[in-house]
Amino acid sequence: MNISTDDFGSAADPGTLSRLRHQLGLAADAEGLLDVAFTTVDSPVGPLLLAATPKGLVRVAYAIEDHDRVLDTLARQVSPRVLRAPKRLDMAARELEEYFQGQRRGFDLPLDLSLSRGFRLLVQQQLPSIGYGQTRSYRQVAELVGNPKAVRAVGTACATNPLPVVLPCHRVLRSDGTPGGYAGGTAAKTTLLNLEAA
């Protein structure tokens, strides 16, 4: 990777630092050294961190989850070669924007599901079968995956979903119809449900 330090100017200049990060991301991508690309996008539920591997979108994170902590976890669990590279996430950003504008009801993104395993992965893979604007209870999802007694485990699988919104765990509610917990907070879950109900 050949990036001259003459291109950087003063390290205190935010514009220069931004250009440096952008050049570094492009160079790392071109050299095949970028294992996890990330960016942040604005949304009606606050800033979302999007991260992708060459396989596909691997993580969507709410600000409440602490984006720096999420990036540290990705560096430990996936690869330490993590860089901001928004171009790699253009498709994901566009589909999310369409979803939030009410123009998209499902996602057509390649996904990297390597952050989940076992029963959690099984549950998360079933979430897109809950249609746009529909909801299911944790018990109904447990029945859907063939383990009716695993209601709490379904709750854990939803709480640890690395791809909220895209794998719509916000559509899973308590049996009494109340929202229950959510990685982005109850307000975010309610916002998503209201958006789909409109």
pLDDT score, position 6? 47
Model confidence at 35, in pLDDT bands (50, 70, 90)?
A: very high
pLDDT score, position 151? 95
Percent of the chain surpassing pLDDT 70: 84
Q: Regarding beta strands 136-137 and 172-173, do their DSSP bridges make them parallel or antiparallel, or are they unpaired? A: parallel
DSSP state of 111: B
What the block records as the tokens of 116 is 């989940």
Question: CA-CA distance, 14 to 156, in Å (whole number)?
Answer: 40
Mean pLDDT for 132-142 is 97
What the block records as the tokens of 90 is 């253009």
pLDDT score, position 8? 46
3-state secondary structure of 56: strand
> How far is residue 70 CA from its own chain's centroid?
10
pLDDT score, position 5? 44
Mean pLDDT for 81-110 is 96
For the chain, the average pLDDT equals: 89
pLDDT score, position 81? 95
26 pLDDT higher than 60 = no
pLDDT score, position 181? 87
Residues annotated as part of the active site:
169
From the number of C-beta atoms within 10 Å of its C-beta (0-12, 13-18, 19+), residue 51 rates as: buried
Model confidence at 180, in pLDDT bands (50, 70, 90)?
A: confident
Amino acid letter for position 70:
V
